[in-house]
Amino acid sequence: MISAFRRALDTWYVKGFFLVMVLAFVIWGIGPDVIRLIGNSSWVVKVAGQTIEAPAFQAEFQRALSTATQQLPPGQEVTPALKKEVADATLKRIVGEAAMQGMLRDMHLLTPPAAIAEAVRAMPVFKDLSGQFSRPLYDQVLRSNSIPETRFIQSVRTDLTQRQVLGAIAAGIEAPLVEAAPVYQAVTEKRAADMVEFAFTRAPTVLPADEATLRRFYDNHPDSYTTAETRRIQAVILSPKGLATEIPVTDEDLHAAYDHAKASYVTEEKRSAQIIAVSDEAKAKALLATWQGNADWAAMQAAATAAGATALPLDDAKKDAFPDPDLAAAVFSAPAGAVTGPVKGAFGWFVLKVTNIAPGSVKSFESVKPELAERVLAEKATDIIYARANTLDNLLGNGTKLDELPGDLGLVAVQGTLDAEGKTPEGEAAPLPDPPELRTALIAAAFQVRLGDPIRLTEAKTPGGPAYFAVTVETITPPGIRPFEDVKDRVSTDWTFDQQRHAQETAAAAMYAAVQGGRPFADAATFAGVVPHLTPLVSSGEGAAGMPPELQRILFGLKKDEPTMVETVAGFIVAVPAEIVISNPETDKTAYDKMRLDLARNIAQDYVAVFQEAVRQRAIPRINQTNFNQIVQP
């Protein structure tokens, strides 16, 4: 019997039966959850030989989302659209980094560990008050931003290595003359206008209105006579200033901070100079003699052109702004008003005259002591603030009310009624703690919160470091219309101004129509009873006294003698472009060359961006859309 059974085991159908039984027991033992995992990939993107798993992508996405959330206005929730936007940007960045790493790997480019360590130690964010690299500060920054050290070092390595390639792409790029000259002329073009003003203060006298007219005006402008919504709030604030009594700041701390930041308290001397550059010493001496003979700058510009030299002015320039170090030394050693030269420089000979000297200055320790104290306090309070913010967040999350919070957290409590501008019902500023950034964030949050909302901890970025607050609304008083009797005097004033404005608008429109119809500007002004005047020459990006900003914004889009009409806070203006000055790049070589340099830098950045996008596309990334969506919108 046993022998027959053993012989049967060797047959193929018995072996198949036992295989089915084994599989059944295995499947029954591991359960349906494991079955679902069979064939279910956990990666999000594959690119350039690298696989980004879901946990790694989720960590990057959460860090980016946390940063984006901190930039939202207080009380605003994270929307699905924002999540999708952040996720797409994170995915694009990860793909770009991986593709670039693959390209660098194929090119066999490496960055030695010593260079990486030197770059990390040179980062200002990791330096203490003495200016030295601080390992504890390094660990704290990475920890507070949830960045693993291995990932951070890898990102520095990749950044340094790819600079070798991207720097080569950007090197040597110049802005073509056919593009640079029109850009320079558009940027430096100057215009002046003939203008007249129909001021509200010079409007015809308006007779007082009767009560029926005022009531009709009041009924037609209800929004002008409403009371603002007010809210009675209760809030607690955790800030570095609130911890000042717990954290000592010594004079040694302040002096160390002053020495570390002293460069930011130094204002360098600036000088304005008129300079003539020429390649020949003899010509330089001849120009010097002409200039010393009391020739003005216009005459010297003409003489320089005749001699084949270049005349250029520099206004309020620091020493390093001068293209030649010998020229810079001469300018900053010459007395004001004296013609100096010839000076031999690396690029030729110079004759110069200093026209203005703005002395440098240094802010004293005493003058910046309050600022230093705030900075040192913020640095010392960093760890305490974060620890207590976590404690406070946990207490609020567990349902603790604001008036039940412990008294040893260094919280400042405020309570009162205010409107959206931060004013009390009496019209005074609500007594909220400084700095202004904290006040603004707290007020904005108070008017985002609804009655009965859970109490949440909110972070506010301030110059003195991060601050935190939690606010709840006790009552809301909606806006309403103030009775006519209470605002009758104000209604009368508003009605009078409205009549004066209408009169001046009508007069300005009549003059505008006359000029547009072909009447000379001066004649139209005389007929309207106003006196025209010429504004100063201005460029599109620089204003000047006598040029209303409202006019300047549209002046550069007008043709010569084309009229325009604009309203300002003081009245209506009618104007026409009277003078258009197109710059010649050859007359201001220094400014033109600087503009070309800036333009070349922008072009180089475009080249680099195109190259990086090409590397991304060439890597042909594969995206697991299912896992991506599960992480972004679970």
* Integer Cα distance of 374 and 363 in angstroms: 17
Q: Supply the pLDDT for residue 558.
A: 92
Residue 602 counted as domain residue: no
Q: Which of 478, 501, 518 is the last residue of a domain?
A: 478
Q: Which residues contact 312 (CB under 8 A, 6 or more apart)?
A: 274, 275, 277, 587, 588, 589, 590
Statement: residue 525 has pLDDT above 80:
yes
10 Å Cβ neighbour count for 179? 12
Residue 16 counted as domain residue: yes
Looking at residue 405, what DSSP letter applies? S
Give 251-269 pLDDT, tens digit per residue: 777 888 888 777 778 888 8
10 Å Cβ neighbour count for 583? 18
* 511: confidence class by pLDDT, cuts 50, 70, 90: very high
Statement: residue 24 has pLDDT above 60:
no
Least confident of 29-38, 200-209, 285-294, 371-380: 29-38
* Integer Cα distance of 504 and 511 in angstroms: 11
* Integer Cα distance of 216 and 485 in angstroms: 13
Residue 623, SS3 per DSSP: strand
- Are residues 509 and 556 located together in one domain of the fold? yes
In single-letter form, the type of residue at position 387 comes to A
In single-letter form, the type of residue at position 396 comes to L
Nearest to 134 by CA among 147, 121, 145, 152: 121
- Are residues 566 and 624 located together in one domain of the fold? no
Residue 589 counted as domain residue: no
Q: Which residues contact 118 (CB under 8 A, 6 or more apart)?
A: none
C-alpha pair distances (Å), 611 with each of 162, 166, 176, 601: 12, 8, 20, 15
Instruction: Give helix 521-528 / helix 488-516 axis angle, nearest 10°.
Output: 140
- Percent of the chain at pLDDT above 70? 89
- Are residues 273 and 325 located together in one domain of the fold? yes
* Integer Cα distance of 348 and 309 in angstroms: 10
C-alpha pair distances (Å), 44 with each of 151, 279, 359: 18, 64, 60
* Integer Cα distance of 156 and 329 in angstroms: 40
Residue 346 counted as domain residue: yes
Statement: residue 571 has pLDDT above 80:
yes
* Integer Cα distance of 102 and 161 in angstroms: 12
**Residue labelled with tokens 């004079």:** 251
Q: What is the reported pTM?
A: 0.47
Domain with 304 in it: what CATH number?
3.10.50.40
Provide the domain limits for residue 283: 269-359
In single-letter form, the type of residue at position 244 comes to A
Q: Supply the pLDDT for residue 381.
A: 66
- Are residues 159 and 66 located together in one domain of the fold? yes
By DSSP bridging, strand 230-238 and strand 226-227 are unpaired
Label each residue of 227-273 as H, E or C.
ECCEEEEEEEEECCHHHCCCCCCCHHHHHHHHHHCHHHHEECCEEEE
Average confidence (pLDDT) over 41-70: 85
Q: Supply the pLDDT for residue 202.
A: 93
Q: Which of 478, 500, 526 is the last residue of a domain?
A: 478
- Are residues 48 and 167 located together in one domain of the fold? yes
Counting every residue written for the chain, the total comes to 634
- Are residues 343 and 420 located together in one domain of the fold? no
Statement: residue 209 has pLDDT above 80:
yes
Q: Which of 328, 359, 390 is the last residue of a domain?
A: 359
Sheet holding 465-477, edge to edge: 412-419, 230-238, 465-477, 457-462
* Integer Cα distance of 52 and 42 in angstroms: 9
Give 591-630 pLDDT, tens digit per residue: 777 777 778 788 888 888 888 888 888 888 888 888 888 8
* Integer Cα distance of 112 and 292 in angstroms: 60
Residue 72 counted as domain residue: yes
Label each residue of 6-34 as H, E or C.
HHHHCCHHHHHHHHHHHHHHHHHHHHHHH
* Integer Cα distance of 261 and 128 in angstroms: 11
Strands (E), 529-583: 533-534, 538-539, 564-567, 571-581
Q: Is the peptide bond before 466 cis (omega within 30 degrees of 0)?
A: no
132 burial level (CB within 10 Å; 0-12, 13-18, 19+): exposed
Label each residue of 166-179 as H, E or C.
HHHHHCCCCCCHHH
In single-letter form, the type of residue at position 1 comes to M
Spatial contact of 128 and 137, defined as CB atoms under 8 Å apart = yes
- Are residues 214 and 290 located together in one domain of the fold? no
- Are residues 201 and 123 located together in one domain of the fold? no
Residue 315, SS3 per DSSP: strand
Looking at residue 420, what DSSP letter applies? T
Spatial contact of 232 and 425, defined as CB atoms under 8 Å apart = no
Q: Supply the pLDDT for residue 531.
A: 93
* Integer Cα distance of 392 and 376 in angstroms: 24
Nearest to 344 by CA among 269, 285, 259, 270: 285
Q: Which residues contact 57 (CB under 8 A, 6 or more apart)?
A: 44, 45, 90, 91, 94, 628, 631
- Are residues 523 and 564 located together in one domain of the fold? yes
Residue 254 counted as domain residue: no
Residue 369 counted as domain residue: no
10 Å Cβ neighbour count for 62? 14
**Residue labelled with tokens 């006359």:** 514
Residue 50 counted as domain residue: yes
In degrees rounded to 5, what are phi and psi of residue 522? Answer: -65, -40
- Are residues 235 and 218 located together in one domain of the fold? no
Q: Supply the pLDDT for residue 129.
A: 65
Mean pLDDT across the chain: 83
Statement: residue 518 has pLDDT above 80:
yes
- Are residues 386 and 503 located together in one domain of the fold? no
Q: Which residues contact 172 (CB under 8 A, 6 or more apart)?
A: none
Residue 267, SS3 per DSSP: strand
- Are residues 560 and 626 located together in one domain of the fold? no
In single-letter form, the type of residue at position 294 comes to N
Domain count, the chain: 5
* Integer Cα distance of 606 and 618 in angstroms: 18
Q: Supply the pLDDT for residue 172.
A: 65
* Integer Cα distance of 594 and 598 in angstroms: 6
